[in-house]
Amino acid sequence: MEAPLLPGIDQTPPLSERDLSAIIQLVYEKSGITLHAGKRELVTARLQKRVKAGGFKSFSQYLKHVHGDATGEELTALLDAMATNHTHFFREPQHFTFLTGPVLAEMAEKARTTGLDGWSAACSTGEEPYTILMSLLEAGCSRVRLLASDISTKALATARGGVYRMERVGDVPQPLLRAYFEKGLGAQAGLARVQARVRSLVEFRQMNLLEIASLDRRFDFIFCRNVMIYFDKAVQQRVITMLERHLEPGGYLFIAHSESLNGLRHGLQPVVPAVFRRPRA
């Protein structure tokens, strides 16, 4: 049996070609994220803390632990480490203008009666779903139910708390900052928290877009932005098929402006750049 690393000594085991390939394949199979051999330094940097924390002498030993962990907790931690969670409030603001303009106008009756049902897929640390809610509330739509999901449990913990450093909320207009956030005082100075009334409108859920099994809802709008750029065409096809299936007829899909559905099979109609609509029957 290999001896564990000595505690307190900064030792980073080398990442062999075989282990790198195994990690790339595992990440692809479980999350759809496509890495390549040129990401060796990134993989090493993001996983070495897990390797050291577990006292493993090699990445190979660590991978055996991941595969043998019946709880799945270490696999989740590995995927957490490899996920990219770059986002900010009001990212690609044209989408929120379109949501609160043409989309809300078209669905005005439903918004007044049963309310709108939306999904922020790959919501990261929460900036996107909270921006959606602030935008709709400002437009007078208070009857909204929003699901926000991500594969990263670490990102979701931040999203659920709704606490951000002041520099992170710099893209929020001052009137909205005053209306929907609480500024921290004393030991919490320099922080801002999304108000409870806004947080109560969103359900955060850990979810893998490749393994949707328990989602029996269809949505009036879905935001799935800046995630498909990490997938190859095969995985993109699986994801877009799933997203289309979960859209109500007449519902809207928002993707990032850097993304495209070219070459994918779907029945969605382009509306404006990076916005698609599922036709009504």
CA 272/CA 254 separation, integer angstroms:
10
Beta partners for residue 275, in sequence order: 254, 272
Burial pattern 101-135, b for ≥16 Cβ within 10 A else e, equals: eebbeebeebbeeebbbbbbbbbbbbbbbbbbbbb
- What residues form DSSP beta bridges with 127? none
172 and 181 Cβ atoms separated by less than 8 Å: yes
Q: How far is CA 171 from CA 4, 60, 73, 87, 181, in A?
A: 46, 43, 35, 11, 13
Q: What's the number of CA atoms in the CB half-sphere (13 Å) around residue 14?
A: 3
Neighbours of 12 (CB within 10 A): 13
Catalytic residues: 46, 150
Q: What are phi and psi of 192, to 5 degrees?
A: -135, 140
